């Protein structure tokens, strides 16, 4: 399968723990996006990369969130000191420049 891959699919963690998610984009795509989605809502932009450069980060994003794309291929999203309000689906998408983005299946995070 050559689509966008996210790992893990589900994560349950205790409040205060750190979690890290991984996204493998479609191989020729230079842009990679992270979104957060809660039930019944549209995806909320978190950040995006062009190659290895992080070009924009949402002002709503807490300092507890950090993302990397070290070699311009896969990306990781880390949440430190998780809170119950972080419970959501985390979506990754990739695109070739500014054309259509393709989405992964998401990582569902539950903070207990």
At 104 the three-state DSSP class reads coil
What does the DSSP assignment read for 11-62? Answer: EEE-TT--EEEEEE--TT--EEEEEEE-TTS--EEEEEEETTEEEEE-TT--
Question: Any contact of residue 90 with another protein (CB under 8 A)?
Answer: no
Q: Which is nearer to another protein, 14 or 98 (CB)?
A: 98
Whether the Cβ atoms of residue 103 and residue 92 lie closer than 8 Å to each other? yes
Question: Any contact of residue 91 with another protein (CB under 8 A)?
Answer: yes
Question: Any contact of residue 99 with another protein (CB under 8 A)?
Answer: yes
Question: Any contact of residue 25 with another protein (CB under 8 A)?
Answer: no
CB of 16 to another protein, least distance (A): 28
Identify the residue among 25, 104, 107, 109 touching another protein (CB under 8 A).
Answer: 104
Q: What is the DSSP letter of 71?
A: T
**Phi/psi of residue 97, each to 5°?**
55, -135
Question: Any contact of residue 58 with another protein (CB under 8 A)?
Answer: yes
Interface contacts to another protein, rule CB under 8 A = 33, 35, 41-43, 45, 48, 55-56, 58, 91, 93, 98-106
């Amino acid at each position: 399968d050559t689509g966008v891959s996210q790992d893990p699919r589900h994560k349950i963690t205790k409040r205060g723990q750190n979690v890290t998610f991984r996204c493998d984009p479609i191989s020729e795509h230079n842009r990679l996006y992270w979104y957060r989605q809660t039930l019944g809502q549209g995806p909320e932009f978190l950040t995006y990369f062009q190659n290895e450069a992080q070009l924009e980060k949402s002002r709503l994003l807490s300092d507890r969130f950090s993302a990397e794309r070290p070699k311009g291929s896969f990306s990781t999203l880390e949440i430190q000191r998780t809170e119950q309000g972080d419970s959501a689906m985390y979506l990754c998408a990739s695109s070739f420049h500014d054309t259509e983005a393709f989405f992964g299946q998401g990582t569902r995070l539950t903070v207990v």
